[in-house]
Structure 1
Amino acid sequence: MNLLEISKQAFVIAFLLYCVAFCFYVVTITGKTWKNRDPQLHERKWGRISFITSTLGLITHLVYVFTRWVWSGHIPVSNMYEFMTFLSLMIILAFTILYLIYRKSLLGLFATPLAIVVMAYAAVFPKDVQPLIPSLNSIWLYIHVTLAAAGDAFFAVGFAAGLMCLLRTIDFKGTDKSARRQKLWLEITFYSIIIVVGFIVSVFAFRASGYEAIFTSNAAQGNDAGQVSVAKEIYNLPPIVAPHGSHLESTDSFLGMSKPLVEVPSWFKGVNAGRKTNTIVWAFITGTILYGLLRFIIRKPLSEAVAPALKSIDADDLDEISYRAIAIGFPVFTLGALVFAMIWAQQAWGRFWGWDPKEVWALITWLFYSVYLHLRLSRGFHGRKASWLAVLGFMVVMFTLVGVNLIIAGLHSYAGTD
């Protein structure tokens, strides 16, 4: 068995251990209400089991990183599969650090599923080991990407604690305008998370079925308009949105769908713009169906169904954990995503700043968390206000990581799907 196979197996084992750890964290929190149980003794026992399991997952995850690193000759962060897998590793590492400080098992109830979703999302992308392109072949790859991912991971834990704080403090029985607005936005947050899950479900479902649709289009080569090549674009999801100016060469049947409904606008730029847009549409369709099924089964908003599990948790502790996580992540992100990134950009492209979409959104992320810390320290933003900022901030982070790579064309497009 070669190192690459060991790496692939370590990825699967780490994923399964995180799933088991999440189940244990559920037992840790919900089991305290069982009859004839000492709540503190139960939480200590199962909290220890849960933490050991997630730590074993972290160790196995590190085995994945090092074996793939040795096999490829570079740190595995050069494409979407590798980077998102590395991000999930850093999320668990950030959670582990904060757990050792605060000893709050409940944080694992949100941090582990977040890492699981990120790993599942990573598995959607091609897993082949590819040689580094020239602009990535630098020591700054190790410094820039590693620190940026570590900063994002602490922001993710801050998001998890902030979301828990909102679930703990929002009055779900309130009928005034403010309470209704708070409940609505919290449910929108849960819906957004389900959309990501929907994306993963739709891709894996159609991939397992072997679905394929092929589009062809003519494209000019170089500056000579007389030289034309045939470009081929392969869909693994039923084509609702077709590439601009393309012809459907072949498609598998799905619910009688024989042709796309619309064509992507010509101003949608970037590699595989039609396929990426189609994937986003399917993510919303599948996510909405999943959300509707969950609402039908639970018979109440998802946020309201989760909230009772947090009754015994001190909201001030959650608020403090969220702040500490962001306070740790901010300087790490500043160094990795901005300072060292600009140094690398100067060496690779001959300029410190070029208004590339990824650079712009990294700056927006940095400015957002700068405002968060300013409001927290100088304006007394605590509790619910700070938690909303932590949740919104991570939405900005995820758009920077995912939306920019999959939607907007730029110099960082090499981190896309193929």
Structure 2
Amino acid sequence: MSYVDFSSDAFIAAFFLYCFAFLFYVVTIAGKKWSNRDPIKHEQRWSRISFVTSTLGLIAHLTFFFTRWIGSGQIPTSNMYEFITFLGMAIMIAFTIVYAIYRKPLLGMFALPLVVLVVAYASVFPQEVQPLIPALSSIWLKVHVTTAALGEAFFAVGFAAGLMYLLRVVDFKQTSKEAKRDQFWVEFSLYTIVLVIGFIAIVFIFRGAGYQATFTQENVTIDSKGVDHSSTDTAEYTLPPIVKPYNSTADHMDSFLGMDKPLFEAPSWMKGVNAGRKLNTVIWSVIAGSILYGLIRLLFRKRIGAVIHPLMGDIDPDDLDEISYRAIAIGFPVFTLGALIFAMIWANIAWGRFWGWDPKEVWALISWLYYSAYLHFRLSRGWQGKRSSWLAVIGFVVILFTLVGVNLVIAGLHSYAGV
């Protein structure tokens, strides 16, 4: 067995250990209400089991990382699959550090699902080892990517603690205007997470079914001399094409529920043969996530936030607020080094300039400015509690768009990461 094959087995082991650790954290928190034993002893026992299991998952994840590095001969952060798996590992490292400081098992009940989602999301992308392009063959790639991801991982822990704070303090039984507004946005945040789960589920369902559709797009451009240049691009779909690429023809399309042709065509302003596929993926994510959200609501007969809120009754909200702030405070200087300083050094080596207004560079700067504002409001204006938690939640949405939206939607020098 090669190192790369062994790394794949270690990755699968890490995923299942993370899943078990999440379930054990749920037992740690929810089991206190039904345990016949002393609730304190119950929490101590199961929190140890949960932490040991999550640590074993991290060890398996580290094994995946280093064995894939050895087997491929390059650091496994060069494409979306490798980077997202590294991000999941970094979130676990950040969680382990924060947990060692505060010893709050409830944090695991929210951080572990985030790790599971990130790891599952990584599995959507092609997992083959891909050769590095010349721009990526630099020691500064290793330094830039790893430190930036580690900083983002601490932001993820801050997001988890911030969302926990909101679920703790927002009373879903209140009927005032302010309470209803808070209830709506907390529920919307949870709905967004369910959409991500729906996206992952629908991709694996159709991938398991072997669904395929292929479209050919003809492109005609006229250069400055008036000469026509035509080219042909191909887009491969693994989800039934509700939307096909603009000005394209279907080469092959599996039938799904009687649908043997696309329902719509992507608008002309969506450039590129893959634009229609990406829009199609977004539509399927909304459909699958909304169905899943509806089933959850039907099962519990109440909003998800209203289901989770009672579990938070024994938690001190000030502790959650402190954890969220400390996690972001730790991550900010690490992110500054990785996403800005080391990134500019690498950009100068790879492309001969420190800054070029590439979309990924711009959004990295926006993310840095956002968290700079967060720390300013927190330290200088005394923004704590609910306002600080909302900033932590929104900030991680900005990070996610920088990681996913820019790589997969906006074309730029960093588009290699979307391969």
TM-score surpassing 0.5? yes
Q: Partner letter of residue 52 of structure 1?
A: V
Q: Quick one: distance in 2 between partners of 1:225 and 1:34?
A: 76
* Gap change, CA 1:271 and 1:69, over 3 Å in 2: farther
For residues 144 and 112 of structure 2, the distance between their equivalents in structure 1, rounded to whole angstroms, comes to 25
User: Which has the larger displacement, 62-71 or 26-35?
Assistant: 26-35
Larger deviation: 61-70 or 211-220? 211-220
Q: What's the counterpart of residue 365 of structure 2?
A: 363
Structure 2 counterpart of 1:388: 390
Instruction: Give per-residue Cα distances to partners, 1:76-128, cap 9 Å, x unaligned.
Output: 11111000100000001100001111111110001111000000000000000
1:260 and 1:225, CA in 2 relative to 1: closer, same or farther beyond 3 A?
farther
CA distance in 2 between counterparts of 1:358 and 1:269 reads 18
Question: 8 Å contact 1:270–1:407 — kept in the other structure?
Answer: no
Helix, strand or coil: the match of 2:234?
strand
Question: 2:32 matched to which residue of 1?
Answer: 32
**8 Å contact 2:233–2:273 — kept in the other structure?**
no
- Of 308, 311, 322, the residue aligned with 2:310 is 308
Deviation at 1:220, TM superposition (A): 5.1
Partner residue, 1:161: 161
What is the match of residue 261 of structure 1? 263
Return the alpha-carbon distance in structure 2 between the equivalents of residues 75 and 43 of structure 1. 39
What SS does the aligned partner of 1:173 have?
coil
Q: Is the 8 A contact 1:159 1:391 kept in 2?
A: yes
| 8 Å contact from structure 1 (residues 242, 264) kept in 2 | yes
Asked whether the 8 Å contact 2:18–2:116 carries over to 1, the reply is: yes
Give the Cα–Cα distance (whole angstroms) in 2 for the partners of residues 411 and 262 of structure 1.
Answer: 30
Letter in 1 for 2:10: A
Deviation per residue, 1:306-336 (Å, 9 max, x gap): 1111110100000000000000000000110
Q: For 1:157-236, what aligned pairs fall within 5 Å after superposition?
A: 157-219=157-219, 228-236=230-238
Contact in 1 for aligned 2:222/2:228 (Cα 8 Å): no
Unaligned runs of 5+ residues in structure 1 are none
| 1:12-161 equivalence runs, <5 A | 12-161=12-161
Asked if the contact 1:76/1:82 (under 8 Å) is kept, the reply is yes
Partners of 1:99 and 1:373 in 2: CA distance? 22
1:375, distance to aligned residue in structure 2 (A): 0.5
2:276 is aligned to 274
**Contact 1:269 1:409 (C-alpha < 8 Å) held by counterparts:** no
**Aligned-pair RMSD on alpha carbons?**
1.4
2:283 pairs with 1:293: no
**Take 2:68 and 2:115, find their aligned partners in 1: how far apart are those partners?**
19
Residue identity over aligned pairs, in percent, reads: 64
Shift of the 93–33 alpha-carbon distance from structure 1 to 2, 3 Å rule, reads same
Counterpart residue identity of residue 207, structure 1: R
How far off its partner does 1:141 sit? 0.8
Q: Look up the SS of the partner of 1:175 in the other structure.
A: coil
Hey, what does 1:326 align to over in structure 2?
328
Instruction: Tell me whether 1:237 sits opposite 2:259 in the alignment.
Output: no
* Separation in structure 1 between the aligned mates of residue 210 and residue 303 of structure 2, nearest angstrom: 35
Counterpart CA distance in 1 for 2:66 and 2:195 is 32
**Secondary structure of the residue that 1:234 maps to in structure 2?**
strand
Instruction: Give the Å deviation of 1:378.
Output: 0.7
May I ask how many residue pairs the two structures share in their alignment? 417
Give, in angstroms, the shift of residue 267 of structure 1: 2.0
Flag the 1:270–1:146 CA change in 2: closer, same or farther, 3 A: farther
C-alpha deviation, 1:271, in angstroms: 6.1
Which amino acid in 1 is paired with 2:407? N
Q: Is the 8 A contact 1:322 1:390 kept in 2?
A: yes
Relative distance call for 1:94 and 1:218 in structure 2 (3 A) is: same
CA offsets 1:181-219 (integer angstroms, 9 cap, x no match): 000000000011011111101110100001011111223
Contact 2:217 2:273 in 1 (8 A): no
**Structure-2 residue corresponding to 1:317:** 319
- Three-state SS of the structure 2 residue aligned to 1:231 is strand
Distance 1:207 1:39 in 2: 44
Native 8 Å contact 2:172 2:183 kept in 1 = yes
Q: Is the 8 A contact 2:170 2:182 kept in 1?
A: yes
After TM superposition, give the deviation of residue 351 of structure 1 in Å: 1.5
Deviations along 1:274-324, one digit per CA (max 9) or x if unpaired, are 111111111111111111111111111101111111110100000000000
Task: Report deviation, 1:226.
Answer: 5.3
The secondary structure found in structure 2 opposite 1:239 is: coil
Unaligned stretches of 5+ in structure 2?
none
CA distance in 2, matches of 1:271, 1:181: 40
What SS does the corresponding residue of 1:326 show, helix, strand or coil? helix
The answer as to whether partners of 1:270 and 1:409 remain within 8 angstroms in 2 is no
* Amino acid across the alignment from 2:302: K
Matched, 1:409 2:411: yes
Give the secondary structure class of the aligned counterpart of 1:249. strand
Partner secondary structure for residue 230 of structure 1: strand
| Amino acid paired to 2:329 | A
Distance in 1 of aligned mates of 2:295 and 2:32: 28
Normalising by structure 2, report the TM-score.
Answer: 0.97
Question: What amino acid does structure 1 have at the position aligned with 2:53?
Answer: T
Q: Secondary structure at the match of 1:20?
A: helix
Displacement, 1:222?
10
